[in-house]
Amino acid sequence: MQDLNELKEVISQIKEEITGGIGSLENSKAVYEFKKNFLDSKNGKISALMKEMRNIPNEQKANFGKGVNELKAWAAEKFDEIDAALKAKEATARYEKEKIDVTMPAVKTKKGNLHPVTQIRNELIDIFASMGFDVFEGSEIETDYYNFTALNTPADHPARDMQDTFYLSPEFLLRTQTSAGQIHVMEAKKPPIKILSPGKVFRSDDDATHSPMFTQMEGLVVDKGITLCDLQGMLNTLVQKIFGADTTTRFRPSYFPFTEPSVEVDVSCFECKGKGCRLCKGTGWIEVLGAGVVNRKVLANCDINPDEYSGFAFGIGIERLAMLKYGINNIKMLYESDLRVLEQINDN
């Protein structure tokens, strides 16, 4: 190359060549390959122009260099433009190719549920643990003494007829009530006592609402000055947490050998809010548990001075709560490990 004029010609030739060439480029790789023809530092046509510098008269060298650099910048911009455009197109094409049907079923992480009884049990424990209750699980096999006699239910007591007991020997039996645990706790520990005693209990009963095994949760408080009003306050807290803040309790007289006074506790029907419906059989109330002030004889049986201390106890059937809460009508469903049942009672 001799001078600037010749350069101009070459520049316009190269520009034409680039402008004409990029139109047919289809992808980023082709752009790269095409670009190499011009800008490759060894073989690129534009890079080659720089080498012509030595043939150019000195006074033109500055302008020559400027011209080549401008061409270089122009070409680079062209290539960048086309590269960006093609990349955008490729990206779009890739996304389009990966289009899916979002309404197709999810692939789920398999997760099981805790048993409905465990769920209710945990819920109760959470409520009471926060109020300072320990959890004591007694044994399923008990002696006659702990299940009956120590609970003020001696051998000739008609209350024994209230519960059909499974016997394992003249002395050992399957506990009929978690109250049996009360005595173990009071023998081992002196007041203040606040315990919750959940567990399986057994009665020789078998129909749609009775199962020979079910789960009870016993609560016991022994301290100074504990009253029937305290029992109601505690139970109100309980039912409000389980059935909703507008739930209340109603006490009515009942009889258990180990409490005096004894009460049946009804909750206002959470389904109809007390108006009367099928669940509450039109009464507005649902019977949920038995309770009372601990009988002085029971305290004395455990070497706790009944003149100094008093207490209350209550016992809840957990299956009954579960059945009420989830609307399960047959207690047996809870013991069959039927996945169709267990899947429905989600433990979140």
Partner 1 sequence: MLVPISWLRDYVDIDIDIDELERRLFASGFEVEEKYQVGKDISGVVVGEVLTCEAIPDTHLHVCMVNVGGAEPLQICCGADNVCAGGKFPVALPGAQVYMTAKDHVTVEGVMTIKKGKLRGYESNGMLCSGTELGVNEDMYPGAGYNGLLVLPADAVVGADVKPLLGLDDYIFDVSITANRPDCQSIYGIAREVAAILDKPVKEPALDYTESGITKDGFTVTVDAPDLCPRYIAHYVTDVKIEQSPAWMRRRLALVGVNSISNIVDITNYILYELGQPMHAFDGEFLEGNAINVRRAADGEKIVTLDEKEFTLNHNNLVICDGVKPVALAGIMGGLNSEIRETTNSVMFEAAKFARDNIRKSSRALGQSSDSSQRYAKGVDEYATVMAMKRALHLIEELGAGRVSSTHVEANSGNSLEPRVMKASVKAVNGVLGIEVPTDEIVRIMKALNFNPSIDGDELTIYVPAYREDMESYPDISEEVIRMYGFDKLVPTLMPTAKITAGGLNTRQKAELKLKRAMTSTGAYEGVHYSFFSPADLDLLGFAADAPERNAIRILNPINEDLSLMRTTLMPQMIHAASRNMKRGRMEGRVFELGNKFIPKSLPLTEYPDEKPTLAMVAWGSGENFYTLKGMVDTVADTFGLTFEYVPTTKPFLHPYQTAEVVCGGEVVGFLGKVTYEIMKAEDMREAAYVAEIDLTLLEKYYDKVTKFAPLPKYDEESRDLALVMDKAVSCGQVEKLIKDACAYVSNVTLFDVYEGAQIGLDKKSMAFSVKFTPKDEEFSADAVDAFVKKILKKLKNELQIDLRS
133-192 residues in contact with partner 1 (CB under 8 A) are 133-135, 137, 139-141, 143, 155-159, 161-162, 166-169, 171-172, 174, 192
* CA gap 19, 69 in Å, rounded: 18
Q: Using the minimum distance from each CB to partner 1, give the nearer residue, 74 or 166.
A: 166
Mapped to the 3 state alphabet, what secondary structure does 92-105 carry? HHHHHHCCCCCCCC
Residue 128 in contact with partner 1, rule: CB under 8 A: yes
Q: Cis (ω within 30 of 0) for the bond into 192? A: yes
Interface region with partner 1, contact rule CB under 8 A, candidates 7-15, 82-90, 92-100, 127-135: 127-135
Report, in Å, the least distance between residue 250 CB and partner 1: 7
Judged by CB under 8 A, which of 15, 72, 296, 325 binds partner 1?
A: 296
Q: Of 27, 28, 113, 149, which one interacts with partner 1 (CB under 8 A)?
A: 113
Smallest gap from Cβ 210 to partner 1, in A, equals 11
Q: Taking CB under 8 A as the criterion, which residues in 304-343 touch partner 1?
A: 310, 334-340, 342-343
Residue 84 or 168: the one with the smaller Cβ distance to partner 1 is 168
Residues in region 196-225 near partner 1 by CB under 8 A:
200, 202, 204, 206, 212-213, 215, 221, 223-225
102 alpha carbon, distance to own chain's centre: 26
Shortest distance, CB of residue 223 to partner 1, whole angstroms? Answer: 4
By CB under 8 A, is residue 278 in contact with partner 1?
Answer: no
Task: Find the angle CA(26)-CA(31)-CA(32) to the nearest 5 degrees.
Answer: 140
Amino acid (one-letter) located at 75: A
SS3 label, residue 253: strand
Task: Choose which of 27, 37, 60, 118 interacts with partner 1 (CB under 8 A).
Answer: 118
Mode of pairing for the β-strands spanning 172-174 and 249-256: unpaired
Structure-derived torsion over alpha carbons of residues 225, 231, 237, 239, reported in degrees to the nearest 10: 170
Nearer residue to partner 1 within complex by CB, 97 or 340: 340
> Interface with partner 1 by CB under 8 A: which range of 26-34, 80-88, 92-100, 249-257?
249-257
Determine if 103 is a binding residue for partner 1 (CB under 8 A).
no
Contact with partner 1 (CB under 8 A) among 110, 303, 327, 329: 110
Reported in sequence order, the residue ranges of the chain that DSSP labels E, i.e. its strands, are: 134-135, 141-143, 172-174, 193-202, 213-223, 249-256, 259-268, 285-294, 310-317
Determine if 127 is a binding residue for partner 1 (CB under 8 A): no
3-state class (DSSP) for residue 59: helix
Q: How many CA atoms, within 13 angstroms, populate the side-chain half-sphere of residue 58?
A: 0
How far is 140 from 90, CA to CA, in rounded Å?
A: 70
Q: Does 237 bind partner 1 (CB under 8 A)?
A: yes
Q: Are 83 and 31 in contact (CB under 8 A)?
A: yes
Spatial distance between the Cα atoms of 292 and 256, rounded to a whole number of angstroms? 8
Candidate ranges 3-11, 39-47, 62-70, 255-263; the one touching partner 1 (CB under 8 A): 255-263
Can you tell me the distance from the alpha carbon of 313 to that of 153, in angstroms, rounded to the nearest whole number? Answer: 16
